[in-house]
Amino acid sequence: MNWSSCFINVTKGLLRGLILTLICVLAISLVMSFKDLGSSVLGVLWVITTCVSIFIGATYAAKRNGEKGWLVGLILAIVYYLVIMIISSIFRGEIHLGIMDGARLLIAMAIGLLSGMLGINI
């Protein structure tokens, strides 16, 4: 596997996932300006946004890479999650790591792994 092309493909997939996340967050914010959404609804919307963004990014990166889709998807999911954690820590002003964050990372890794496998076969 050519690591430089893998890096480029993961970066492009990561940017696609982050842009999709930004669009979804802006859409959710727009809806929240007109209607009050409960915290449980926001939690579900955030999980859906994260999962779909990782899916889109990992599928794209794996398809472009052409081999080892599971590894490309796994790398993308880990980097995506770390970027989101850094951004949220900056906005919150504190670093918060708990058991749920570990569970979310494992879910993100599973989605990235499976999406990478799917991306190779599309």
Q: What is the mean pLDDT of residues 5-12?
A: 91
Q: What is the DSSP string of 76-103?
A: HHHHHHHHHHHHHHHHHTS----HHHHH
Q: What is the 3-state secondary structure (H, E, C) of 44-69?
A: HHHHHHHHHHHHHHHHHHHHHHCCCH
Residue 38: predicted pLDDT? 80
The predicted model scores a pTM of 0.90
Confidence of residue 100 (pLDDT cuts 50, 70, 90): confident
Residue 62: predicted pLDDT? 94
CA angle 51, 55, 57 (to 5 degrees): 120
